[in-house]
Amino acid sequence: MKPIGKIGLALTIAFSISTSAFAQVQYTDVAQVHWAYESIQKVSDKKWMTGNLQNEFKPNKIVDYFEFSQIAAKVAGYKDPLIEEVTAEQKQLQEQAYKENENILTNYTNRFTRWEKQYKNYNQQIAYLLYKGILKETDLAKFIIEQESGTEVVRSLKREDMAAFVVRLIGKESEALKNTLTTGFDDESLISSSIRPHAAYLRQAGIFQGSEFNPKGEVTKAVLAKVLVESMTLNSTDKGKVKEDKDLTDEKEIYIHGTVTYIGNGYIGIQDGNNKTSYYSIKEGARFYIGSKETNIESIEKGNKVLIQPIKENNVDYISKIIVQEDKKSPEEVKPVVPNPGPNTNADNTNTNTNTETTPVSTRRLEGVVEAVGNTSINIMVKYIGYQGEIRQEVELYNINPNTIITKGNKTILPIDITKGNIIIAEVKGNLLYKAVIMDKQREVIGSLVEKKRIKSLNSMIIKVDQETLEYQIPTDIKIAKKGLENAAWNDLRIGDKITLDLEYDKVVGINAEGFASEVEGIIEEVLISATQSKITIRLNDNSVKTYPLIYGARIARGNRNENLTLYDVRLGQKVKAYLDSLEIEEMALGNQTQVTTVQGYIDGIDFINNYLDLRTNSDFTGIKRIRLEKEVEVFRGDKRLNRRDLEEEMLIVITLKSYGSDQASTINIIAK
């Protein structure tokens, strides 16, 4: 098929737009009873997805990564200057996006002939998605693969990748990555570990349902339309908790009452009395209070009962004030707070200087350095960080009573045991110190290395301590020691290393690391090639799936042969034995490509002219999986060899695919009609 040029494509799209601009599109192949009818209408109205010149939407057509990129770019705001009016600002943004990613895309167009000849016109949209963070550089390795025969195959979009891309598209990835819950799918072990939070987020939002996710399954146009429409509504959820009165809005402060379910990255999630959660942007410069005392955003925690004050600017809802309620009052009893009614009073003017304080309904956490301490009071130096990164220090006075719990090294201590300069992690209510953990100025933190980062010449590391992950900035001149190495450096640290950080206050002054060697065997499921650090996903012999980073310069060979291969020689489905330095691969021995994939279901439709059949399966999201049906496919009923023309709709069949990750049938066994 001759590739369509960009002008020809633009004319086709322009025609599609012109036929739908004045009336709702009625596709000939999408009936009003179709399960995705409303979603297909909406994506057509928004010009995200269109049909062909025959007014067909082709709802069962499989979407590849290039097609998804074109659609996602439109959703993200990309405008094609050939068919749309583009502002100077938007044009500059799109040109900047392409300029920043041109070298990356050139590498792929030079490497793959099909990319150069058929899909180069998609590079502008792909660059835009890379710029926006919706695609990552490692995702590009999934678009086209080269088989052992040298044939270049454009890959169908996987359902798990669709989940990750859509979560990024709606700006919820940071929120999703905070979720440590399981996905709830029976086939969770088949989902790439890096994508499980995205799948869990969309399941919790009701986008994905059912017992199985089928992460490696393909995506049809109808499925993508439904997922896009339902996901985008997460950003425009009805926030009908406040009845706006235009006559009163300018005169009265309006508050929303609820429970904090999420706070971070500039957003807050509030659950109302009907257990419905809505998300709001926190306005720059917003003010935070616990009762009457002004505090900072770090003091707001999940589970807090709060009053939030919404405002609307440029048709966007923002939160300008958040008040944590200290008492179990109903919303009607809690009045908007006037800050700082007095140095030793709470919101209802009762004195807090008492030794009869009981366990508080809610406390807030703060961290700081002890400035001075007595038997009944303590001064704590607390740092507050503003929205623009400015840091201010304040000395705050808190009262100590006989019920205050103070510990150091898991032992209870007295105020007299605290010294100036100690680090304190405290829980306070009003002006009362309820609980405190004391640490020395110089201390150790021991955990395992989870991730290394380098941003604008600054190093940082994330380590897991017990069940908590902590991030530390690492000075470039820091001394690093690693067991077995004389002169260790930053690049000698491996994911999985046991790490001991020497801290002085919150500054890292020394790193001690210890690695370990191990071996794993299994089948290669995924290869992510990146200029920073490539990764290999392996289904291990115990059927668990794990992803391992590849050490730069790692040796790759086939069996025990004395040869040096590259990642481009690695094939999905190959057996592999990986030799690990902690949890990073330093050497791989490749075996044969032995993994075979089968799929079972009922024939939903056959097209012998276009060489495909649609298989109805319970494992696929839509129940439909398209399989390529070439003329040389072998068909059997028991021991009897048949012709592909003997296949009929509603037959129960088992298909063996031609290769791992392929959508082409090799053999078909008819089980029953």
Is the pLDDT at 499 greater than 80? The verdict is yes
Mean pLDDT of 484-506: 88
Looking at residue 498, its pLDDT comes to 95
**What six digits make up the tokens of 637?**
């009923």
Query: For residue 249, what is the DSSP state?
Result: T
Number of domains in the chain: 6
Beta-carbon contacts of residue 554 (< 8 Å; ≥ 6 apart) = 585, 586, 587, 588
- Does residue 222 share a domain with residue 94? yes
| Euclidean distance between CA atoms 635 and 646, whole angstroms | 8
Choose among 309, 304, 298, 303: nearest CA to 368: 298
pTM to 2 decimal places? 0.39
Residue 377 lies in a domain: yes
Residue 483 lies in a domain: yes
| Euclidean distance between CA atoms 201 and 640, whole angstroms | 48
What stretch of H or E contains 307? strand 305-313
List the CATH number of the domain containing 382. 2.40.50.140
Mean pLDDT of the chain, nearest integer: 79
Confidence of residue 516 (pLDDT cuts 50, 70, 90): very high
The Cβ-side half-sphere exposure at 215, using a 13 Å CA radius, reads 25
Q: In this predicted model, what pLDDT tens digit does every residue of 60-102 receive, in sequence order? A: 999 999 999 999 999 999 988 777 788 888 888 999 999 999 9
Is the pLDDT at 566 greater than 70? The verdict is yes
Of the residues 291, 311, 343, the one at which a domain ends: 343
String of DSSP letters for 145-214: EE-TTS-EEEPBPBHHHHHHHHHHHTT-HHHHHT--S----TTGGGS-TTTHHHHHHHHHTTSS-SS---
Rg (CA), the chain: 30
Q: What's the burial of 17, exposed, middle or buried (CB within 10 Å: 0-12/13-18/19+)? A: middle
Confidence of residue 26 (pLDDT cuts 50, 70, 90): confident
Percent residues over pLDDT 90 in the chain:
23
Mean pLDDT of 139-152: 86
Q: At what angle do helices 159-169 and 65-76 cross, to 10 degrees?
A: 10
- Does residue 145 share a domain with residue 212? yes
Q: In this predicted model, what pLDDT tens digit does every residue of 94-142 receive, in sequence order? A: 999 999 999 999 989 998 999 988 899 899 999 999 999 999 988 998 9
Mean pLDDT of 25-32: 84
Return the SS3 of 303: coil
Of the residues 414, 437, 460, the one at which a domain ends: 437
Looking at residue 527, its pLDDT comes to 80
Looking at residue 185, its pLDDT comes to 83
Residue 164 lies in a domain: yes
**What six digits make up the tokens of 159?**
């359902």
List the CATH number of the domain containing 570. 2.40.50.100
Q: In this predicted model, what pLDDT tens digit does every residue of 192-234 receive, in sequence order? A: 888 888 888 898 888 887 788 888 999 999 999 999 999 888 7
Looking at residue 157, its pLDDT comes to 94
| Euclidean distance between CA atoms 75 and 49, whole angstroms | 10
**What six digits make up the tokens of 609?**
């002219």
Is the pLDDT at 357 greater than 50? The verdict is no
CB atoms within 10 A of CB 662: 19
Of the residues 235, 250, 279, the one at which a domain ends: 235
Instruction: Give φ, ψ of 241 to 5 degrees.
Output: -95, -15
The Cβ-side half-sphere exposure at 206, using a 13 Å CA radius, reads 7
- Does residue 151 share a domain with residue 36? yes
Least confident of 117-131, 266-280, 503-517, 532-546: 266-280
Percent residues over pLDDT 70 in the chain:
81
Residue 350 lies in a domain: no
Residue 1 lies in a domain: no
- Print burial letters for 256-272: b (CB count within 10 Å at least 16), e (below 16): bbbbbebbeebbbbbee
Does residue 280 contact residue 319 with C-beta atoms inside 8 Å?
Answer: yes
Residue 140 or 505, more confident: 140
Q: In terms of C-beta distances under 8 Å and separation of at least 24 residues, what long-range contacts does 508-512 make, across chains too?
A: 508/472, 508/473, 508/474, 508/475, 508/478, 509/478, 510/478, 510/479, 510/481, 511/474, 511/478, 511/479, 511/480, 511/481, 512/481, 512/482
List the CATH number of the domain containing 254. 2.40.50.320
Q: What's the burial of 652, exposed, middle or buried (CB within 10 Å: 0-12/13-18/19+)? A: middle
Looking at residue 18, its pLDDT comes to 36
| Euclidean distance between CA atoms 376 and 263, whole angstroms | 34
Q: In this predicted model, what pLDDT tens digit does every residue of 321-343 receive, in sequence order? A: 888 876 433 333 333 333 333 33
Do the strands 479-482 and 507-514 form a parallel or antiparallel pair, or are they unpaired? parallel
Is the pLDDT at 254 greater than 70? The verdict is no
Q: In this predicted model, what pLDDT tens digit does every residue of 164-187 receive, in sequence order? A: 999 999 988 888 887 656 788 888
- Does residue 161 share a domain with residue 274? no
Looking at residue 293, its pLDDT comes to 64
Looking at residue 71, its pLDDT comes to 95
Residue 82 belongs to what domain range? 6-235
- Does residue 130 share a domain with residue 175? yes
Confidence of residue 159 (pLDDT cuts 50, 70, 90): very high
- Does residue 510 share a domain with residue 579? no
Residue 355 lies in a domain: no
Residue 431 lies in a domain: yes
| Euclidean distance between CA atoms 490 and 202, whole angstroms | 37
Is the pLDDT at 385 greater than 60? The verdict is no
- Does residue 270 share a domain with residue 298? yes
Looking at residue 180, its pLDDT comes to 56
| Euclidean distance between CA atoms 651 and 632, whole angstroms | 20
Instruction: Give φ, ψ of 588 to 5 degrees.
Output: -130, 135
Choose among 105, 117, 190, 115: nearest CA to 544: 190
Q: In this predicted model, what pLDDT tens digit does every residue of 569-624 receive, in sequence order? A: 887 778 899 999 999 999 999 887 665 677 788 898 899 888 899 888 764 444 67
- Does residue 67 share a domain with residue 126? yes
Is the pLDDT at 539 greater than 90? The verdict is no
Return the SS3 of 120: helix
Which ranges in 196-326 belong to alpha helices (H)? Answer: 196-204, 221-232
